[in-house]
Amino acid sequence: MSAKKILLTAINAKYIHSNLAVYSLKANAGRYEPFVELCEYTINQKKEEILRGIYGKKPDVIGFSCYLWNIEYVLAVAEDVKKILPGSIIFLGGPEVSYHPEQILERYPFIDAVMAGEGEKTFAEYLAWQIEKKGAPAEIDGLVYRNGDRILRAPQRTAMNMEELVFPYPDLDGMQNRILYYESMRGCPFSCSYCLSSVEKAVRMKSIEKTVKELDFFLERRVPQVKFTDRTFNCNHDHAYAVWKYIGEHDNGVTNFHFEIAGDLLREEDFALFHGFRSGLIQFEIGVQSTNPATLQAIRRTMDLPKVRRHIKRVQEGHNIHVHLDLIAGLPFEGYESFRKSFNDVYAMKPNQLQLGFLKVLDGSYMKEAGNEYGVAYSSRPPYEVLSTTWLSYQELLDLKQVEEMVEVYYNSFQFAASMAYLVRFFETPFDLYRALGDYYEKNHLFDRKHSRVSRYEILWGFADGLQWDNSETEVFRETMTYDLFSRDYVKNPPSFIRERTAGQKEKIRAFFDRQCEMPTVLDGYGGLVAKQLYHQLYVNSFTVDMDVLIKTGRIERRPPFYLMFDYKKRNPLDHSAAVSYLKEMEE
């Protein structure tokens, strides 16, 4: 056996992410696993740093994991690697190169091979050939390779049995506090025209016995978050229910599990199970994409929208599961006004997060074939994002980009819940509020600047100052801003529009903390601290608006002044806000 060093390289979007593909390839390499080394970088690192790291390992064979968001960076790195290690063999794998491997090899002479499609067996057989000269490239199914001036393709790799997959994580060395990805199935039963998962319609899944045994690895090690990469996790109800039931019964109090599901496929027994879960045990991502029936039909998306609405509401009744909903702009038959309606429809579902995505026209997808029919213009380079359609102009897409950014800042950050619930009352629809915010940012040259958290509040105050309302409305908004600001952290130097507590209020608050030090009736976990320390660790202030009612219903309920306490040691697992307590003993 000739010694070879094989390097599998992942260039991730963020440090906190991990790359399931390279871990799975190494774990499933069989007897050749000791020859394989993994290296993970991020697209935020300098190319020179990555080159130095690869060069220092002097690998004979280098594989890169390729995705829509990293392919250009990977190619730039790979080209230079070939120059500094001219004797090395470079291969690519992943969804971004699997559907046109011959074109990749024709266009980039520094790439020696592409592993198209599912890679575990292809990689193991490739190692057998590289290390022991077993077989020949033409016999390695799934391999597209360079042979002199010719580009050759071996037969397509048949889908493997999921029971044969070796668990990808032998340990957690170097992976503490990172998101770990896991799959219990491959393929998707649906045919959404924009998605590559629809290409493989046959769904293959691991047995429930194998799945729960592997989940024990994460539970026993108290991994912070595990993201299932399964597309439409609950397409097989029995499998999904068994997994959810198991993690509920074996909850370690720490680990969060993320699932991408179809909301309309949930059943009564699921809701009953969910309502008994610890807050933050699981979270759901549900792709609505559009509420326009013509659009849903054109993209081949099977979805019972009324049922989705009902089921999301049922999930939210437990107040213990984070719900993330997705929309896609640039789909067929979805013009600006149609997207505005889709946005408002989904906003009304009150998701914890609302993601506005933009259509990507991917190689291998039906949308790539049908793009001309819908007048879809898109970028020729990754991420192949839509530029315009028959129904949506480029200018309108730019406007939606601004809405997207405003939603990220003022909705998805969880930092403006009460203030946005109040502001939306002054606009015809929620979409119009975020559109107006985008206009305000544009007019005042606020885009493309870095803003602190406090400055975002100052900007929102300036935006609201331009609305036509009276002094009483301004005072309500001041309260909502105070509530939102201190829900996140005890801000020592708040913006000037936050009213300083009066001398009388401060005296009353200190007296409250004095009583709590002598006999705690409200505080928990602050033993040994004196009133002065408590005063600077827990924020207490007087309010006249019931913020809980405002956030949940949009209604303004005024009350005689009452006091709320913000406890930063206790936080909501769904939005990380401080626990807020109503202090009855301080009623005025």
pLDDT in tens, 338-349: 999 999 999 999
pLDDT band at 66 (very low <50, low <70, confident <90, very high): very high
Angle at 298 between CA 292 and CA 303, to 5 degrees: 60
User: For 351, what's the count of Cα atoms within 13 Å in the CB-facing half-sphere?
Assistant: 28
Q: How many CB atoms lie within 10 A of CB 325?
A: 22
Summarize the confidence of residues 545-570 as an average pLDDT: 95
Which tops the pLDDT comparison, 363 or 219? 219
The predicted structure's pLDDT at residue 194: 72
Percent of residues, the chain, with pLDDT higher than 90: 87
**294-314 pLDDT, tens digit each:** 999 999 888 999 999 999 999
Tokens read off for 34: 């000791």
Distance CA 87, CA 60 (A): 7
**Is the Cβ–Cβ distance between 235 and 266 less than 8 Å?**
no
Segment 60-82 shows an average pLDDT of 97
Say how far apart CA 354 and CA 413 lie, in whole Å: 10
Sign of the CA dihedral running 459, 460, 463, 466: negative
Mean pLDDT of 170-191: 88
Hey, which residues does 62 pair with through a beta bridge?
Answer: 7, 90
DSSP string, 140-199: STTEEEEETTEEEEPPPPPPPPGGGPPPS-S--TT-TTS-EEE-SEE--S---TT-GGGG
Structure-token pair, residue 182: 């896991």
Phi, psi of 228 (to 5 degrees): -75, 130
Residue of 205, 173, 175, 172 whose CA lies nearest to 188: 205
- Report residue 118's pLDDT band, with 50, 70 and 90 as the boundaries: very high
Encoded tokens for 4: 């070879």
Q: Quick check: 201 pLDDT over 80?
A: no
> Within 10 A of 301 (CB to CB), how many other CB atoms are there?
21
Identify the band that residue 3 occupies on the pLDDT scale cut at 50, 70 and 90: low
Whole-Å CA distances, 33 to 303, 435, 509: 43, 53, 63
Q: Which of 53-62, 148-157, 170-179 has the lowest mean pLDDT?
A: 170-179
In this predicted structure, what is the pLDDT of residue 1? 52
Per residue in 129-170, pLDDT (tens digit) is: 999 999 899 999 999 999 999 999 999 999 999 999 999 999
Long-range contacts of 491-498 (CB under 8 A, 24+ apart): 491/454, 493/454, 494/454, 495/454, 495/457, 495/458, 495/461, 497/458, 497/461
**Amino acid in the structure at residue 217:** F
Q: Is the peptide bond before 383 cis (omega within 30 degrees of 0)?
A: yes
Angle, vertex CA 40, rays to CA 34 and CA 43, nearest 5: 155
419 token code pair: 């203030």
Q: How confident is the model at residue 2 (pLDDT cuts 50, 70, 90)?
A: low
Report how far residue 317's alpha carbon sits from residue 72's, in angstroms, rounded to the nearest whole number.
Answer: 44
Q: Is 571 left (phi over 0), alpha (psi -120 to 50) or beta?
A: beta
Mean pLDDT estimate for the chain: 94
> Does residue 62 contact residue 54 with C-beta atoms inside 8 Å?
yes
Q: How far is CA 91 from the centre of its chain?
A: 29
Cβ contacts of 100 within 8 Å, gap of 6 or more: 363
pLDDT in tens, 356-414: 999 999 887 878 887 788 999 999 999 999 999 999 999 999 999 999 999 999 999 99
Residue 198: per-residue pLDDT: 55
Confidence bin at 173 (pLDDT 50/70/90): confident
* Separation CA 165–CA 406 (nearest Å): 43
Let me know: does 63 contact 91? Beta carbons within 8 Å. yes
Residue 72: what pLDDT? 96
On whether the CB atoms of residues 107 and 380 are closer than 8 A, the answer is no
Residue 49 has pLDDT above 90, yes or no: yes
Average pLDDT for 238-260? 98
Helix axes 120-132, 20-27, angle to 10 degrees: 50
Contact of 435 with 393, CB cutoff 8 Å: no
Contact 566, 578 (CB under 8 A): yes
Burial 250-270 (b: 16+ CB within 10 A, else e): ebeeebbbbbbbbbbbbeeeb
Query: pLDDT grade, residue 199 (50/70/90)?
Result: low
Taking each helix axis from N to C end, the angle separating 430-443 and 453-465, rounded to the nearest 10 degrees, works out to: 100
- As a whole number of Å, the CA-based R_g of the chain is 27
Give the other-Cβ count within 10 Å of 163's Cβ. 11
